């Protein structure tokens, strides 16, 4: 096909119903093509004011007197997130801790409950290419309890085959842990199908929504999902290291207990009783004092996405990545790039990945050309045009600069040492 011209990309922006949302983010460098929203989302303009309000007024002036309001936020912000983006009825979503810690709490709770019901149920099924922290946490949990991981191979591009997950399930399986959108390829998994297979095997399904929350509609309740965790500093635009979220389906809450028994999970917390008696609701998966600044930022990010509507966000995500895939086919394939994401937009999330032998020097050199993507070892360039904050022309310019840079061999000129891009 003939790729669109730059004028055509600009026309897509003019016609974009979400176009005005781009202005709702801080963006002082008009030359920058920021295709790394899947790593760290842009700063919403409203968040600047909200954080000043929280810091300078609520903390600075209200001091400890602000706690009666702040203390409600983990559940209140969780409910708003659940309702607008996760398909979760109230009382099931909590904003707290990091993805790592939340995964530990929920997987630990699920493994303990499974073992208590049937000592033979000790296996966690996980995809071989699952995001590292998920694998590390599960390896530690399984090892600490005499359990085991069972690894399912997945295609590096197409992602995991639900049939392979089903084949890995058995009467020994306690839990399946899976990313809804794969962090590397962007492949989208059929949540309802895999959850159903887990249930038929007597196991629970825990979903990592880090790369899907705010990018893809997530119907946790409808899919019958049991547990979920996810990140807020990517598509939810809550800032570096902002608190993560967790979801526990209401039907499981009373029988699951977090291995980390913290005082924010305690019934009648400020009576400060001697024995731990967790509350009934999703707050029983809280641990320590909630990170108030981060919660405010999550709230603002969620509000922005809720205003845009996740279905429109999804439509734009597909259109942006489609544009990128089309340009990559036309311009980049001849330069040694191969699409390492599903070609069908409905099978992927909001980012795509390109494989290239020199992916690291290309990623590094791109920054000097005003294009930010990110590198994933050993040879992947990941490009995430966050739908709410990215223009079509930004994607066009990024692809154009990328082809020129590689065609001219500029990525070979000054190669920095392989480094960290979170």
Stretch of 167-175, 212-220, 371-379, 391-399 contacting a second copy, by CB under 8 A:
371-379
Residue 290 dihedral angles phi and psi, to the nearest 5°: -65, 140
For a second copy, how many residues bind (rule: CB under 8 A)? 87
Q: Whose CA is closest to 299, among 38, 51, 22?
A: 51
Handedness of CA 159, 165, 167, 168 (dihedral sign): positive
403 is catalytic: no
Q: Which residues pair with 93 in a beta bridge?
A: 247
Q: Between residue 164 and residue 193, which ones bind a second copy under the rule CB under 8 A?
A: none
234 is catalytic: yes
Decide if 85 contacts 180 (C-beta within 8 A): no
- Cα 228 from Cα 240, distance rounded (Å): 21
Using rule CB under 8 A, residue 144 touches a second copy? yes
Decide if 378 contacts 340 (C-beta within 8 A): no
- Cα 208 from Cα 80, distance rounded (Å): 19
* CB 3 to a second copy: min, Å: 27
Using rule CB under 8 A, residue 386 touches a second copy? no
Q: Between residue 308 and residue 367, which ones bind a second copy under the rule CB under 8 A?
A: 367
* CB 232 to a second copy: min, Å: 10
Using rule CB under 8 A, residue 260 touches a second copy? yes
382 is catalytic: yes
Q: Between residue 40 and residue 79, which ones bind a second copy under the rule CB under 8 A?
A: 40, 42-43, 47-48, 51-52, 55-56, 59-61, 63-68, 70-71
Helices (H), 145-286: 162-168, 191-200, 220-223, 250-253
Decide if 147 contacts 111 (C-beta within 8 A): yes
Q: Between residue 286 and residue 305, which ones bind a second copy under the rule CB under 8 A?
A: 287-295, 297
Decide if 1 contacts 330 (C-beta within 8 A): yes
User: Which position among 171, 273, 334, 336 is part of the footprint of a second copy (CB under 8 A)?
Assistant: 273
Active-site residue (options: 257, 314, 382, 391): 382
User: Which position among 128, 407, 414, 415 is part of the footprint of a second copy (CB under 8 A)?
Assistant: 128
Using rule CB under 8 A, residue 246 touches a second copy? no
Active-site residue (options: 25, 131, 245, 285): 131
User: Which position among 2, 14, 31, 274 is part of the footprint of a second copy (CB under 8 A)?
Assistant: 274
Active-site residue (options: 129, 134, 208, 374): 208
Pairing label, strands 173-179, 148-152: unpaired
Q: Is the Cβ of residue 276 or residue 415 nearer to a second copy in the bound state?
A: 276
The secondary element (H helix, E strand) that includes residue 394 is helix 392-407
Q: Is the Cβ of residue 23 or residue 420 nearer to a second copy in the bound state?
A: 420
Stretch of 216-224, 236-244, 334-342, 393-401 contacting a second copy, by CB under 8 A:
236-244
Helices (H), 273-309: 292-308
- Cα 142 from Cα 298, distance rounded (Å): 31
* Stretch 390-419: interaction string toward a second copy, x if CB under 8 A: -----------------------------x
- Cα 229 from Cα 225, distance rounded (Å): 11
208 is catalytic: yes
Which residues are identified as catalytic? 131, 208, 233-234, 382
């Amino acid at each position: 096909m003939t790729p669109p011209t730059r004028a055509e990309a600009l026309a897509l922006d003019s016609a974009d119903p979400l176009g005005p949302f781009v202005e709702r983010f801080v963006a002082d460098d008009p030359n920058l093509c920021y295709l790394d929203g899947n790593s760290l989302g842009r700063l919403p303009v409203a968040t600047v004011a909200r954080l000043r309000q929280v810091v300078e007024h609520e903390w600075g002036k209200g001091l400890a007197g602000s706690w009666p309001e702040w203390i409600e936020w983990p559940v209140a912000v969780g409910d708003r997130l659940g309702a607008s983006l996760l398909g979760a009825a109230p009382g099931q979503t909590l904003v707290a801790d990091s993805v790592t810690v939340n995964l530990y709490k929920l997987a630990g709770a699920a493994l303990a409950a499974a073992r208590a019901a049937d000592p033979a149920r000790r296996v966690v099924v996980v995809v071989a290419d699952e995001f590292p922290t998920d694998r590390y946490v599960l390896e530690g949990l399984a090892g600490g309890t005499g359990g085991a991981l069972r690894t399912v191979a997945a295609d590096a591009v197409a992602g995991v085959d639900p049939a392979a997950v089903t084949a890995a399930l058995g009467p020994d399986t306690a839990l399946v842990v899976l990313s809804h959108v794969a962090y590397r390829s962007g492949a989208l998994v059929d949540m309802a199908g895999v959850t159903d297979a887990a249930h038929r095997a007597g196991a629970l399904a825990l979903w990592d929504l880090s790369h899907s929350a705010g990018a893809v509609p997530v119907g946790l309740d409808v899919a019958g999902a049991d547990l979920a965790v996810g990140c807020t500093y990517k598509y939810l635009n809550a800032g570096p290291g902002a608190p993560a979220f967790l979801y526990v389906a209401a039907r499981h809450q009373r029988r699951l207990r977090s291995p980390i028994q913290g005082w924010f999970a305690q019934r009648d917390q400020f009576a400060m009783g001697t024995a731990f008696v967790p509350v009934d609701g999703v707050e029983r998966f809280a641990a320590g004092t909630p990170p108030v600044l981060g919660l405010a930022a999550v709230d603002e990010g969620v509000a922005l996405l809720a205003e845009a509507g996740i279905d429109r966000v999804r439509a734009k995500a597909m259109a942006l990545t489609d544009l990128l895939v089309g340009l990559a086919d036309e311009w980049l394939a001849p330069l040694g790039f191969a699409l390492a994401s599903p070609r069908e937009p409905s099978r992927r999330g909001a980012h795509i990945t390109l494989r290239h032998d020199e992916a690291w020097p290309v990623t590094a050199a791109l920054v000097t050309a005003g294009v930010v993507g990110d590198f994933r070892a050993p040879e992947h360039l990941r490009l995430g045009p966050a739908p709410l904050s990215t223009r079509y022309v930004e994607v066009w310019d990024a692809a154009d600069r990328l082809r020129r840079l590689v065609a001219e061999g500029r990525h070979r000129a000054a190669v920095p040492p392989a480094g960290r891009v979170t």
